[in-house]
C-alpha cells in the first residue's frame, strides 16, 4: 500500500498528544511556506502576480499572517473573514472581497478596509453605492455559462448561483465607468479541486479574451484578471500534484497572444487558491477509542465528522496512516467512524489498513483546508484545537479546543436556573 509522507515522527506526535490530547488539527509551517514560495517563483514573469489566499479554507490568524509574510493577500467573503484579516494587519488592496447575497454591513466594512470589491451581480452596484459608496477600483465576477464547463465538484457554470453573464458583464462595466469608477479588474471561478492543469490555461485564455473584448467595446483597460482558485491537491497517494511551472507556462503563452496592444494587457494576474496552499500541510490526529465487529469491522475514533466534514458530506477520500504501522501489511478492511448519531459519520469505508488496536494514533491527511473550517456542533460535539508545527520543530497552539462553556455561551438558561433555585428553596429535602 503506497503511503503519504508525514512531517513528523511517531515519537514527536506521541509527545504532542501527551501535551494537548486528541483530536487536533496540526499544520506544517515549513511545508506551507515552501509551497507558497514555489507558486511565486513559477509566476515571477508576471509584473504584478498575487495570490489572495482563500481565508475560508483555513480561517486562522496565524495562517493568514504567515502567508501575508510570504507576500500573499487574502480572499474574503464574509464580515468575520474581513475582521480576522484586519486584526492581523491585512488591509487595503491586500484583501479581495468576493461575496454573494451580501449584506450592507459587509460592503461597508470592505470599503472601510480599502479592499478590492468584486461584485457577484449587476444589481449589487447600486446597492453598494447606496450603502457603502463608490470605490475607485471595482471588479465583477464572470460566469461563462455553457461557454465553459466546471468540474464534478463545482458543477456546471450555467447552474451556479455565482457571477454575471457575458451581456451583463458589458452592461455592468459600462455602468460602473459612467458612475465614475476609475480602475477595473475581471474575475472568474469555475473549478474546485481540479487536477488538470489545462483547465486553468483555458480559463486564462477565456478571461484574457473577455478582457480584450471589453476593452474594444468600452475602452476599459483592466489592471488585473483574477483566475480564481480551484487548484486541486493529490488526496490519494497515486494522484499527481499540480505543476505550478506548467500552469504558468501555459498562461504565459495565452497572455502573450492577447489580441490587444501590449500597453493594454493587464499588469496583474491573480489567483485565490486555498486548498492548494495549505491543504496538503494539515493533518487531523485522533486516537482509536473502540473496535466493533458486526456485519463489518469498525474502528471508532475520538474525532468525528464535526472535525472533518468532507468524507461524510462528499464521500471525499482522505488518506489514513496508523502511526508506527506504516510498513505493516494492509490486510484488514475497516470502516473508520466517529461518534455522531449519523451513519455518514465515516472517515473511510471498506478501507484496507493494518490491524488496528484501541489506543493507536491515527493521522488523517490533507486536512489543511476545508477541515477545521467546516466544523460544526451537531450532537453537541465540540470543535478541536489547531496546532502549528513550526519550522524550528516546536509546536504552538493557534486555536484552543472548544469547551462546554463555549457551547452553552449563546443559550439563555436564566429562566430555568431561577426556577430551579426556587424549587430547591421550597423542597422539604433541603429544609433543616
What are the residue boundaries of the structural domains of the chain, listed by start? 29-279, 280-408
- Pairwise CA distance, residues 259 & 210, whole Å: 10
Can you give the pLDDT at residue 151? 47
* pLDDT-derived band at 153, boundaries 50, 70, 90: very low
| Identical topology for domains 29-279 and 280-408 | no
Cell of 84: 480576522
- Pairwise CA distance, residues 34 & 28, whole Å: 10
Can you give the pTM of this predicted structure?
A: 0.93
Average pLDDT over residues 295-305: 98
Judge whether 17 and 363 are in contact, CB under 8 Å: no
Mean pLDDT of the residues in the chain = 94
- Pairwise CA distance, residues 358 & 323, whole Å: 13
Average pLDDT over residues 88-103: 97
Model confidence over 381-428: pLDDT tens digits? 999 999 999 999 999 999 999 999 999 999 999 989 876 766 666 665
Q: Which helix (H) or strand (E) holds 187?
A: strand 183-188
Model confidence over 210-246: pLDDT tens digits? 999 999 999 999 999 999 999 999 999 999 999 999 9
- Pairwise CA distance, residues 387 & 397, whole Å: 4
CATH 2.40.37.10 fits 280-408, yes or no: yes
- Going by C-alpha positions, the residue among 351, 353, 389 that lies closest to residue 368 is 389
Of the CATH numbers 1.10.1200.10, 3.20.20.10, 3.40.30.10, 3.40.50.980, which one belongs to the domain with range 29-279? 3.20.20.10
Model confidence over 352-378: pLDDT tens digits? 999 999 999 999 999 999 999 999 999
By DSSP bridging, strand 183-188 and strand 361-365 are unpaired
Higher pLDDT, 155 or 300: 300
Can you give the pLDDT at residue 145? 87
By DSSP bridging, strand 73-76 and strand 282-293 are unpaired
Residues carrying an active site annotation: 341
Amino acid at each position: 500500500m503506497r503511503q503519504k509522507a508525514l512531517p513528523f515522527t511517531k515519537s514527536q506526535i506521541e509527545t504532542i498528544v501527551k501535551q494537548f490530547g486528541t483530536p487536533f488539527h496540526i499544520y506544517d509551517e515549513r511545508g506551507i511556506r515552501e509551497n507558497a514560495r514555489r507558486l511565486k517563483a513559477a509566476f515571477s514573469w508576471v509584473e504584478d502576480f498575487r495570490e489572495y489566499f482563500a481565508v475560508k479554507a483555513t480561517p486562522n490568524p496565524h495562517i493568514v499572517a504567515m502567508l501575508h509574510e510570504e507576500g500573499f493577500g487574502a480572499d474574503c467573503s464574509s464580515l468575520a473573514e474581513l475582521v480576522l484579516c484586519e486584526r492581523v494587519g491585512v488591509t487595503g488592496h491586500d484583501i479581495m472581497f468576493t461575496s454573494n447575497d451580501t449584506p450592507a454591513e459587509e460592503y461597508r466594512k470592505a470599503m472601510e478596509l480599502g479592499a478590492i470589491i468584486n461584485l457577484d451581480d449587476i444589481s449589487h452596484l447600486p446597492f453598494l453605492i447606496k450603502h457603502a459608496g463608490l470605490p475607485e477600483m471595482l471588479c465583477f465576477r464572470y460566469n461563462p455559462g455553457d461557454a465553459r464547463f466546471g468540474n464534478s465538484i463545482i458543477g456546471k457554470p450555467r447552474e451556479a448561483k455565482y457571477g454575471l453573464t457575458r451581456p451583463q458583464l458589458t452592461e455592468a462595466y459600462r455602468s460602473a465607468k459612467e458612475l465614475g469608477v476609475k480602475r477595473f479588474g475581471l474575475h472568474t471561478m469555475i473549478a474546485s479541486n481540479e487536477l488538470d492543469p489545462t483547465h486553468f490555461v483555458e480559463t486564462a485564455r477565456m478571461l484574457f479574451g473577455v478582457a480584450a473584448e471589453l476593452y474594444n467595446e468600452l475602452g476599459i483597460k483592466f489592471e488585473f484578471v483574477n483566475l480564481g482558485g480551484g487548484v486541486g491537491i493529490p488526496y490519494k497517494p497515486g494522484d499527481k500534484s499540480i505543476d505550478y511551472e506548467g500552469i504558468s507556462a501555459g498562461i504565459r503563452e495565452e497572455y502573450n497572444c492577447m489580441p490587444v496592444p501590449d500597453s493594454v494587457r493587464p499588469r496583474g494576474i491573480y489567483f485565490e487558491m486555498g486548498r492548494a496552499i495549505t491543504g496538503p500541510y494539515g493533518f487531523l490526529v485522533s486516537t482509536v477509542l473502540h473496535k466493533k465487529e458486526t456485519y463489518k469491522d469498525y474502528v471508532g475514533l475520538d474525532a468525528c465528522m464535526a472535525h472533518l466534514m468532507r468524507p461524510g458530506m462528499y464521500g471525499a477520500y482522505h488518506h489514513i496512516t496508523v502511526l508506527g504501522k506504516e510498513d505493516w501489511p494492509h490486510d484488514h478492511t475497516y470502516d473508520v467512524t466517529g461518534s455522531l448519531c449519523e451513519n455518514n459519520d465515516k472517515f473511510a469505508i471498506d478501507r484496507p489498513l493494518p490491524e488496528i488496536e484501541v489506543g493507536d494514533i491515527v493521522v488523517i491527511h490533507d486536512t489543511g483546508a476545508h477541515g477545521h473550517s467546516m466544523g460544526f456542533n451537531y450532537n453537541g460535539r465540540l470543535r478541536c484545537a489547531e496546532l502549528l508545527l513550526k519550522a524550528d520543530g516546536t509546536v504552538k497552539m493557534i486555536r484552543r479546543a472548544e469547551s462546554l462553556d463555549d457551547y452553552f455561551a449563546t443559550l439563555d438558561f436564566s429562566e430555568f436556573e431561577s426556577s430551579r433555585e426556587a424549587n430547591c428553596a421550597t423542597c422539604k429535602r433541603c429544609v433543616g
